[in-house]
C-alpha cells in the first residue's frame, strides 16, 4: 500500500507502516533534536538505512515506470505488490512481530472507502507512468500538497505561518512553469495524473480523520491493523479491475520477458515493504528534517535516473520550474516541522 510516511512518493506507493505505535507518536519529539555527536556505529547504521531508503524509493519510482513500459498489466502488478504487503503483515501479526488489535466489522466498513481510493491511487499512477516523465509525477505530487493545504485552510480552519504560505506559493509557481513548458506533454498521461491527484486528496482527508480516530483517540486499532485492513480490501478491487481489463493474459506476456524485467517486477513487490522498514529506522537514527531532505534528494535522483534510462528530455525553463516546485515543497515540509515543534 502506499506508504504512510510519504504519500507523495512516486509510483509509489505507501506500502506498510513498520514502526511501533509509540515510536510513530513520539518520533518527532525524540529525533528532531539528535545529539550533537553520534557514536561511529550509529553513523554507519544511519548511513546504511538512508541508503536503503534511497534504494527502495528509486525501486518504486523508476522500477514501476520500467515495468509498465515493458509489461502493461497495472492491476496485476498492483495485485502482486499489495498481495506481498498482505503476506508480510499477516505473517508479522501471526509471528507476534507486528501489533494488531482485534478486528471489528465496523473497521472493515470504514476503511473500505480508503481502500477504494488507495486502489485508484495506485492504478492511476501506474497507468500514467508510460506516458509522462517521472519529473511530471513528482510535480503533480507536490501540487497535491498545495491543494490539500488549501482545503485544510478553507474547510477545516487550519492556520499556516507566513513562511508556509510563501512555500506553497513557490510550489504552485514552479508547477505552473513546469506544466506550461512541458515538452513531453501527453494528454492521456496528464488525465491519469489528475485522477491520481483526486484520489490522493480524497484518501488523505478520509485517512486523516479515521486513522487518527481509530489509532489515537479510540485506540481500538493500530497503524499495522489499519494497513492490513486496507491492503486486504484492495485485493478484490484490483482483481475485479484486472478481469474487467482483460488482464488474464498476464502470464502469457510475462513468460517471454527478459530476466532483468522479471527481476524488476519482483523487486517492486519488495520495494514497498523495504520503504516502510527504512522510514521509521531513519527517523530513529537522524532528525526528521534530515529524512525530509533525504526523501527530496531521492526524488531528484530518481528523476535523473529516469532521464538516463528512458531518454527523457526537459527544457531549461522546465528544469527551473521543477526545481522551484521541489524547493517549495521541501520548504513547506521543513516549515511544517518547525510549526509542529512550536505547538508542542
**pLDDT, average across residues 36-59:** 82
Q: What is the DSSP letter of 217?
A: I
Give pLDDT tens digits for 263-313: 999 999 999 899 888 888 888 888 877 888 898 999 999 999 999 999 999
CA distances in angstroms from 173 to 90, 142, 150, 178, 191, listed in the order given = 44, 11, 15, 9, 20
**pLDDT, average across residues 164-190:** 95
**182: alpha, beta or left? (left if phi > 0; alpha if psi -120 to 50):** beta
Return the residue matching grid coordinates 530476466.
259
Provide the pLDDT for residue 174: 96
Among residues 198, 250, 221, the alpha carbon closest in space to that of 77 is found at: 250
Provide the pLDDT for residue 21: 35
* Terminal-residue alpha carbon distance, the chain: 30
Examine the pLDDT at 319 and tell me if it is beyond 60. Answer: yes
Examine the pLDDT at 208 and tell me if it is beyond 90. Answer: no
d(CA 144, CA 125) in angstroms, rounded, equals: 13
Give pLDDT tens digits for 117-154: 999 999 999 999 999 999 999 999 999 999 999 999 99
Task: Find the Cα–Cα–Cα–Cα dihedral 66, 265, 85, 46, rounded to 10°.
Answer: -70
**pTM to 2 decimal places:** 0.85
Amino acid at each position: 500500500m502506499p506508504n504512510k510516511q510519504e504519500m507523495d512518493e512516486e509510483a509509489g506507493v505507501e506500502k506498510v507502516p513498520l514502526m511501533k505505535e509509540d515510536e510513530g507518536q513520539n518520533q518527532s519529539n525524540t529525533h528532531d533534536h539528535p545529539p550533537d555527536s553520534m557514536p561511529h556505529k550509529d553513523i554507519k547504521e544511519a548511513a546504511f538505512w538512508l541508503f536503503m531508503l534511497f534504494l527502495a524509493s528509486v525501486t518504486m519510482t523508476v522500477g514501476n515506470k520500467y515495468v509498465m513500459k515493458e509489461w502493461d498489466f497495472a492491476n496485476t502488478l498492483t495485485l502482486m505488490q499489495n498481495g506481498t504487503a498482505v503476506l508480510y503483515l499477516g505473517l508479522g501479526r501471526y509471528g507476534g512481530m507486528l501489533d494488531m488489535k482485534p478486528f471489528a466489522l465496523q473497521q472493515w466498513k470504514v476503511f473500505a472507502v480508503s481502500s477504494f481510493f488507495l486502489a485508484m491511487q495506485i492504478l492511476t499512477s501506474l497507468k500514467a507512468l508510460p506516458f509522462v516523465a517521472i519529473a511530471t509525477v513528482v510535480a503533480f505530487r507536490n501540487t497535491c500538497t498545495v491543494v490539500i493545504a488549501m482545503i485544510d485552510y478553507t474547510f477545516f480552519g487550519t492556520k499556516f505561518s507566513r513562511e508556509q504560505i510563501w512555500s506553497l506559493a513557490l510550489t504552485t509557481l514552479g508547477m505552473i512553469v513546469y506544466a506550461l513548458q512541458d515538452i513531453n506533454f501527453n494528454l492521456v498521461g496528464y488525465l491519469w495524473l489528475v485522477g491520481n491527484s483526486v484520489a490522493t486528496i480524497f484518501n488523505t482527508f478520509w485517512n486523516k480523520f479515521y486513522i487518527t480516530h481509530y489509532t489515537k483517540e479510540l485506540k481500538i486499532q493500530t497503524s499495522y491493523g489499519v494497513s492490513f485492513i486496507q491492503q486486504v480490501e484492495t485485493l478484490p478491487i484490483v482483481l475485479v479491475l484486472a478481469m474487467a481489463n482483460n488482464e488474464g493474459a498476464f502470464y502469457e506476456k510475462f513468460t517471454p520477458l527478459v530476466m532483468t524485467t522479471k527481476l524488476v517486477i519482483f523487486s517492486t513487490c519488495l520495494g514497498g515493504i523495504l520503504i516502510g522498514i527504512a522510514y521509521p529506522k531513519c527517523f530513529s537514527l537522524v532528525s526528521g528534517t534530515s529524512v525530509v531532505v533525504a526523501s527530496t534528494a531521492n526524488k531528484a535522483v530518481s528523476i535523473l535516473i529516469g532521464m538516463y534510462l528512458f531518454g527523457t528530455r526537459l527544457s531549461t525553463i522546465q528544469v527551473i520550474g521543477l526545481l522551484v516546485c521541489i524547493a517549495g515543497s521541501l520548504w513547506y515540509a521543513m516549515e511544517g516541522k518547525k510549526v509542529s515543534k512550536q505547538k508542542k
